[in-house]
């Protein structure tokens, strides 16, 4: 839902039209009911209440192989990694290899962001404060009415609002986004087997 809420706060279908962006939601289904809920919310963001029109959006709900990832990343402007915690986050490095910067939770909570450099090779947003709010709003067993659920979603969106202004600014500035993308690609492709060995040797030397 973080990805969908991010699209809403950026301006939804109006924002997508203005920048000629087609959003893609990727992720294999693990919990069917949750997947359907997110997909429907995603499609709603891409529709307009004013003229009943629908902006193109793509849903890929299966595991993506190397060729499929390459095809997507070669046409991607910005990759959104919406999880609050991730031991590494391989798609961050994979997208960076294609010169695609990512939006990621800050504070070292996603491993690959350390390699890319927060706000250097990726766009770091503070999403961690949402975790407790999401848990409270969805597991206390009291939000059964539509009005209460709508209030919970609205509260989460309001929490996101001040945190995405940097992302919106980047998308409006081609040069700023290009700089992040350039740094992301440099760091992703610069970490090879030799770099790994050198890094290990340096750490071992510091221990002796």
Nearest to 82 by CA among 47, 134, 46: 134
68-125 pLDDT, tens per residue? 999 999 999 889 998 888 999 999 999 999 999 898 888 888 999 988 998 888 888 8
Nearest to 29 by CA among 59, 67, 56, 69: 59
Quick one: CA torsion of 108, 109, 115, 116, rounded to 10 degrees?
Answer: -90
Burial 163-175 (b: 16+ CB within 10 A, else e): bbeebeebbeeee
Paired residues of 105 in beta bridges: 125
Burial 92-114 (b: 16+ CB within 10 A, else e): bbbbbbbbbbbbbbbeebbebbe
Count, residues in the chain:
208
13-50 pLDDT, tens per residue? 888 888 888 999 998 888 899 999 999 999 998 887 66
pLDDT at 88: 92
> How big is the CA angle at 101 (ends 133 and 6), to the nearest 5 degrees?
30
Task: Say which range, 78-87, 146-155, 166-175, has the weakest mean pLDDT.
Answer: 146-155
Q: What is the DSSP letter of 169?
A: H
> How big is the CA angle at 28 (ends 73 and 59), to the nearest 5 degrees?
60
105 in helix, strand or coil?
strand
Nearest to 9 by CA among 122, 120, 92, 127: 127
Question: What are φ and ψ of residue 171, in 5° steps?
Answer: -65, -25
Q: Quick one: what percent of the chain has pLDDT higher than 70? A: 75
pLDDT at 86: 92
Average pLDDT over the chain, rounded to whole? 79
CA distances from 122 to 55, 100, 161, 180, 191 (A): 27, 9, 19, 6, 16
């Amino acid at each position: 839902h973080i990805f969908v809420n991010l699209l809403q706060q950026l301006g939804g279908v109006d924002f997508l039209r203005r920048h000629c962006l087609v959003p893609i939601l990727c992720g294999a289904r693990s919990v069917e009911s949750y997947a359907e809920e997110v997909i429907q919310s995603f499609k709603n963001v891409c529709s307009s209440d004013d003229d009943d029109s629908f902006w193109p959006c793509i849903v890929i709900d299966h595991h993506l192989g190397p060729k499929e990832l390459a095809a997507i990343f070669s046409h991607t402007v910005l990759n959104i990694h919406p999880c609050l915690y991730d031991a590494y986050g391989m798609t961050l490095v994979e997208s960076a290899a294609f010169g695609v910067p990512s939006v990621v939770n800050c504070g070292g909570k996603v491993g690959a962001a350390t390699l890319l450099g927060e706000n250097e090779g990726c766009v770091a947003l503070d999403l961690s404060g949402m975790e407790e709010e999401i848990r409270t709003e969805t597991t206390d067993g009291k939000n059964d009415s539509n009005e209460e659920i709508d209030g919970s979603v609205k509260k989460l969106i309001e929490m996101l609002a001040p945190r995405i202004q940097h992302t919106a600014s980047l998308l409006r500035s081609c040069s700023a986004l290009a700089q992040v993308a350039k740094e992301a690609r440099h760091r992703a492709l610069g970490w090879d087997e030799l770099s790994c060995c050198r890094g290990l040797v340096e750490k071992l030397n510091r221990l002796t």
